[in-house]
Amino acid sequence: MPHYTKTPWTLSVYDLLHRAGEMREHSIEVVVPERLGEGQVAVQAGAVLDLDVRLEGLHDGILVSATVTGTATGECSRCLKPIAEPVEVDIAELFAYDVDEAFDYQVHEDHVDLEPVVRDAVVLSLPFQPVCRPDCPGLDPVTGERVEDIPDYQPREGVDPRWSALAGFQAEAPADTARADTERADTTSKPDESA
Ligand SMILES: [Zn+2]
């Protein structure tokens, strides 16, 4: 009987314990219990990750190397269309026997828990601003409609009503400049008056 809580991420290393030089390989499928990632795309709960794992016994612990593949799903950051992104990450971490060692992970009794290692690697690999395609035109800023769904879409170049007063101001600018020139001319004439 194992003395640990078995999860989809735990792997027995019983037959490798303190056997430096021994090696085992496993191909496992993990049905993700909790979503990996908080961004616009994530590996969702219930999705399957394939782990090709190699376990190697070392003197200090067990070296776990794995290639993790799967699919992240979510929304395009520009047009909000559902998208799927392939995930493929490699991990390599030493799980130490000794809890006092300066390693992030430990062998717990006769197993290793891959969850934190896989989670960190997968989450780091996810794009911050995923797009359905590199030239996705996004949403119309006024109506919020998906631009690629609008036939003959014309980008809006009309002037915002709030700027119409400014347009009038610009038209008067040359007159202001002329007045400033006149004032400057008056100033230069003053020394003559005092003389
Ligand atoms: Zn898009």
Is 171 inside any structural domain? no
Q: Is the pTM of this model over 0.75?
A: no
Is 17 inside any structural domain? yes
The position carrying tokens 């690697």 is 121
CA 146, 151, 155, 159 torsion-angle sign: negative
The position carrying tokens 């949403």 is 139
Looking at every residue in the chain, the average pLDDT score rounds to 84
Is 97 inside any structural domain? yes
pLDDT at 166 over 90: no
How many angstroms is it from 102 CA to the middle of ligand 1?
45
Question: What span, in angstroms and rounded, lies between the C-alpha atoms of 95 and 113?
Answer: 9
Number of domains in the chain: 1
Is 177 inside any structural domain? no
| Tens-place pLDDT, residues 62-98 | 999 999 999 999 999 999 999 999 999 999 999 999 8
Structural domain containing residue 118: 10-125
Is 25 inside any structural domain? yes
Is 34 inside any structural domain? yes
Contact 146, 113 (CB under 8 A): no
Is 135 inside any structural domain? no
How many angstroms is it from 37 CA to the middle of ligand 1?
20
| Tens-place pLDDT, residues 102-146 | 888 999 989 999 999 999 999 999 999 999 999 999 999 888 899
Is 91 inside any structural domain? yes
How many angstroms is it from 88 CA to the middle of ligand 1?
22
